[in-house]
């Protein structure tokens, strides 16, 4: 176990704790030294490591795709251009198969979601001790490097999708049409309160399910890597490599599911009943 003298419980807790900065009621604006201080900061706190890694990976995505697009050739493409084109075509095919309306934003947004979530998930394949240990040498107590294991990040992504759902529902149907959709189906005007309850539950469940599905799968995968790191060295290699190979499928699948559900929800927002 790379944790040295600390107990297994302390090791797990350390690796699952974010670097949090916020306004503590007694100490003012500080970096939390433990989970209790972070919880005491309440809403006025930010998980700095999640923000740094998620924004950083977003910048990597934009830089990489912009560079490939700038150097793209109509002749025989290189390996990098061929790979990027394959991803773009894959996303475009999924958008065309699900979204049957005219909206120039949907395909670029779907591409952004797929690649960005994939990159955030991909950080789970980095050995769990490497970067936290390097951060500790620099005097940083905590450093979680997988943004999608932070519920704040997945809820933030889902909230952005939810806002778009509301926006396009009102844009396409008008405020009256949107309210009628919420209150008059599935049982008609005589069951308006019941209809409204059902539709509101279904509407709110969309972002919550998006966020919790991604968070739950990635958090569980990270936990397994941490538990494997607690085993003897020979057992770590015996178990971590097969789990990492299997986890490649998980991180790709979760990015794909988040993208497809976003397209489906936005297509439903454009549909008229």
Catalytic positions: 209, 213, 217
Peptide bond into 142 cis (omega under 30): no
How does DSSP classify residue 45? E
Which DSSP state fits 22? E
Instruction: Count other Cβ atoms within 10 Å, centred on residue 150.
Output: 22
Place of tokens 């995505």: 61
Cα separation of 214 and 155, whole Å?
9
| Alpha carbons 66 and 81: distance in angstroms, whole number | 11
Single out the residue of 96, 164, 132, 156 nearest to residue 15, CA to CA. 132
From CA 110, how far away is CA 112, in angstroms rounded? 5
195 vs 189: CA distance, rounded Å:
8
């Amino acid at each position: 176990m790379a944790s040295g003298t600390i107990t297994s419980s302390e090791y797990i807790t350390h690796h699952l704790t974010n670097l949090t900065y916020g306004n503590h009621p007694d100490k003012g604006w500080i970096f939390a030294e433990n989970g209790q201080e972070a919880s005491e900061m309440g809403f006025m706190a930010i998980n700095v490591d999640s923000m740094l890694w998620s924004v950083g990976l977003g910048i990597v995505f934009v830089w990489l795709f912009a560079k490939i697009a700038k150097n793209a050739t109509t002749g025989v493409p290189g390996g990098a251009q061929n790979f990027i084109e394959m991803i773009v075509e894959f996303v475009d095919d999924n958008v065309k198969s699900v979204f049957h309306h005219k909206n120039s934003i949907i395909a670029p947004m779907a591409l952004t979601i797929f690649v960005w979530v994939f990159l955030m998930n991909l950080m789970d394949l980095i050995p769990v001790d490497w970067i936290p240990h390097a951060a500790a040498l620099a005097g940083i107590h905590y450093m979680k490097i997988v943004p999608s294991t932070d519920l704040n990040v997945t809820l933030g992504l889902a909230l952005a999708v939810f806002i778009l759902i509301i926006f396009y529902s009102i844009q396409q149907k008008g405020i009256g049409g949107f309210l009628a959709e919420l209150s008059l189906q599935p049982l008609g005007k005589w069951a308006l309160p019941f209809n409204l309850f059902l539709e509101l539950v279904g509407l709110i469940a969309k972002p919550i399910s998006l966020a919790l599905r991604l968070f739950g799968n990635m958090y569980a995968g990270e936990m397994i890597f941490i538990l494997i790191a607690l085993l003897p060295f020979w057992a770590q290699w015996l178990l971590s490599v097969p789990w990492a190979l299997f986890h490649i499928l998980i991180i790709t699948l979760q990015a794909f599911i988040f993208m497809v559900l976003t397209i489906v929800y936005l297509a439903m927002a454009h549909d008229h009943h």
